[in-house]
Structure 1
Amino acid sequence: MTATESGIPTGPIDREPLDYPAPGGYPSSDRKAEIMTAVFAQAGIELGAYDERIAAWLTDTADWSTFAVITSWVQRAGQPRT
């Protein structure tokens, strides 16, 4: 499975994405928020106040695998169709 430097899968996911590129564990909620903010911006997604509330909830509560899959969907949805 290929992934961005932040560990977000770049294509269809066939197994749980447990790999995170930094040694010693998974990212903090703050780091996950940075990753998600960058993915939203790259995909051209404008967030409202409630969107931001749910994004914060996700980064605070989701385990890495769940976060990586959902963020990958957003990232891939924002890519041009070929």
Structure 2
Amino acid sequence: MQTDDTGIPTGPIDREPLDYPPPGDYPDSARKAEILENVFQAAGVEMGAYDQRIADWLAETADWSTFAVIVSWVQRAADRG
């Protein structure tokens, strides 16, 4: 599975993305929030207050695999235009 430098898969996902970063080195919630913010900015997603609340919740509560898949969807959709 191909990933970008943050560990987010860059193509279709056929299995749980656990290879990168190495288990035990997964980003903390602050880093996940930063990754998500960068992906939203690159995709041109305008964020309202409730949008931000849900993005913060996702970064704080999602395990790495779930987070990586959801962020990958946004990134891949934006890449397609």
Band of TM-score, shorter chain: over 0.9
Per-residue deviation, 1:79: 1.0
CA distance in 2, matches of 1:23, 1:16: 12
**Partner residue of 2:74?**
74
**Partner residue of 2:34?**
34
Q: Give the gaps of 5 or more residues in structure 1.
A: none
Q: CA RMSD in A?
A: 1.4
Q: TM-score, normalised by structure 2?
A: 0.93
User: Cα deviations across residues 52-72 of structure 1 (Å, max 9, x unaligned)?
Assistant: 000000000000000000000
Q: TM-score, normalised by structure 1?
A: 0.92
Amino acid at match of 1:29: S
CA distance in 1, matches of 2:52, 2:63: 18
CA distance in 2, matches of 1:22, 1:47: 31
CA distance in 2, matches of 1:80, 1:72: 12
**Partner residue of 1:63?**
63
| Greater fraction helix | 2
Between the two proteins, the alignment pairs up a number of residues equal to 81
User: Cα deviations across residues 25-47 of structure 1 (Å, max 9, x unaligned)?
Assistant: 21000000010001001111111
Using the aligned pairs only, state the percent identity: 69
**Partner residue of 1:50?**
50
CA distance in 2, matches of 1:49, 1:11: 30
